[in-house]
Structures are given as structure tokens and as C-alpha cells.
Amino acid sequence: MGVLFTDMEIRPLLDTVYQLYGFDFRDYSEAHLMRRVKHRMALSHIKTVTELQERTIKDAGFAAMLLQDLSITVTEMFRDPDFYSVLRTQVIPMLKTYSFIKIWHAGCSTGQEAYSMAIVLQEEGLYDRATIYATDFNQTALDQAKNGIYSIEQIKEYTGNYLKGGGKEDFSKYYTSQYNSVIMHQSLKRNIVWAQHNLVTDGVFAEVHLLLCRNVLIYFNVDLQTKVHQLFHDSLITGGILCLGSKEGIRVGDVHEKYTEIDKKQRIFKKRY
């Protein structure tokens, strides 16, 4: 029989994680928290949340595993290819009107989407005048992102995504194969700034022309979504572009009043004021 517990039992655990390690998951969605906590308890053969909390307090290595479990690291290069097709046709022309472009990938995880953006910008002749700020609160994920090393098996899928998303080159020109892995070329890394940033607890990171945070907000409750949307709004220039995930939107509070819709299906919005 699987582990059984209530949402209320998780609250003290989340308080402990925040007090000891500074990571605040208290406003993440209940479904996400329950799923990930059950996962860690099953893997570690822990039967109660109280026992899980005690291990988290006493064992820093175990706590690191729990933090990794609670993090959101689901990503891939050119994820949702149709989004990248619209990005090229609808957003890139707007970016070309600026002499210098700042882009923020919020919640960049292990970096695949930041490299995807670098490739798009390079193919559209914009990379030399762009800076990509790729941030995540998970330092382990950031370290992998900086290295830009992915498995050969992943690259096969990424190549298909790239072509469907309007890729203009042979995808293999962007990486070097080594054993069962590939390393993204240094030319893609030169204008990416990797940095630790927590959407839950940190403030404005930079004033940017384009902000992408795709498939992260779905893990937050409504109050936290509202808070993060304000952060995004404060981070965008007037006329800046906000890109969200396919299951996310701006229908929280009065957020929708501050944007015009560029593409409803792909969740791309332009800041009005």
C-alpha cells in the first residue's frame, strides 16, 4: 500500500525546508507537492511525513534530494515546436526593431530552452546584439545548463523539434558529439548569463524585451501566480513580450488588462503598460 498523508501534514515539512535551506515551496500547488513528496517517500522507504521531516533536518544530503524532487526540471530543446514557429514569425520581427535585446528565461532548468533561443537568434541574425539571462533556483540544474551536455538519445528528439519549429540549418552544426553525449557549441553560450534566481522569494532580475517562463506557473497556486505575474510585469519594458506555457495564461487578478494577445494558442502576450 502506498504512503498516505494529508496536505496539512506537508505544511510543517515545507516550513522546515524554508527555515533551514531558504527555499519556499509553501505556495506551490497542492497536487504537485503531494505527488513529489510521495515520490521521495516511496524511493526512500519512508512511511510518514514526520519521519521525512526528521531526515530533512538531520541529513543535508537527503534534504538536497528532496529539494531536487520538489524542483521542476521537465524541459527539452524546442519544446512545443509550434511555439518556436510563431516566435520566429510574430516575435522576432518585433525584436529586430531594437538595437539591443535583453531576454529572460525564468525557470530555465537544465538549459535546453535557453540554447534553443540562442539558436533562433543566431539564425535570425540577432544573437550578436542580444543577452539571454537564464535563471533557476536549482543550482544543480544550472550547473548542467552551463555545461550544455546532453545525451545522444535526447538530441534525436531535439532535432525533430528543431525542424518542426522552423529550423534553418543542419542541427548537428550546433553541437559536438562525444561518446554517448553531445556538447553544445561555445558560440551558443557566449551571450547567455546563467544565474540563480528564485521566482518565489527574489525580486526583479532585469528589465527585458522578452520574458519566457513556460510550464512553471502551473506548479504554483493562484496567490503565487499573481505575485510572480507582478514580477514579470515589472521586469518587462513597455511593449515587451511575455511567453507562457500551453496550459498557462494571464487570467489571474487584473493581469490580462495589462497585455494584448499576440497568439492565443501559444500563450504569447505584449505588455500594454
pLDDT in tens, the chain (273 residues): 455 566 678 999 999 999 998 889 999 988 889 999 999 999 999 999 999 999 999 999 999 999 989 887 779 999 999 999 999 999 999 999 999 999 999 999 999 999 999 999 999 999 999 999 999 999 989 999 999 999 999 999 999 999 999 999 999 999 999 889 999 999 999 999 999 999 999 999 899 999 999 999 999 999 999 999 999 999 999 999 999 999 999 988 889 999 999 999 999 999 999
The C-alpha angle with vertex 75 and arms to 83 and 184, in degrees rounded to 5, equals 95
Q: What is the pLDDT of residue 1?
A: 42
Contact between 137 and 23 (Cβ < 8 Å): yes
Residue where one domain finishes, among candidates 70, 96, 120 = 70
Q: Does 59 lie in the same domain as 142?
A: no
Q: Does 137 lie in the same domain as 61?
A: no
Handedness of CA 72, 77, 83, 86 (dihedral sign): positive
φ/ψ (deg, to 5) at 149: -110, 125
- DSSP per position, 11-40: HHHHHHHHHHH----TTB-HHHHHHHHHHH
Q: Ramachandran region of residue 80, left (φ > 0), alpha (ψ -120 to 50) or beta?
A: left
Residue 2 lies in a domain: no
What are 133's three cell numbers? 539571462
Q: Does 163 lie in the same domain as 31?
A: no
Q: Does 46 lie in the same domain as 11?
A: yes
Q: Does 212 lie in the same domain as 136?
A: yes
Q: How many CA atoms lie within 13 A of 157 on its CB side?
A: 11
Question: Which is nearest to 205 in space by CA: 218, 190, 220, 194?
Answer: 194
Q: Does 180 lie in the same domain as 50?
A: no
Determine how β-strand 208-213 pairs with β-strand 181-184: unpaired
**Angle between helices 60-70 and 30-43 in degrees, nearest 10:** 140
Q: What is the pLDDT of residue 5?
A: 66
Residue range of the domain that includes 154: 81-271
How many residues are listed for the chain in this entry?
Answer: 273
Residue where one domain finishes, among candidates 51, 70, 89 = 70
Domains identified in the chain, total number: 2
Q: Does 45 lie in the same domain as 131?
A: no
Cα end-to-end distance, the chain, whole Å: 53
Q: Which helix (H) or strand (E) holds 7?
A: helix 7-21
Question: Which is nearest to 143 in space by CA: 102, 105, 196?
Answer: 196
Q: Does 86 lie in the same domain as 57?
A: no
Residue 75 lies in a domain: no
**8-state DSSP, 10:** H
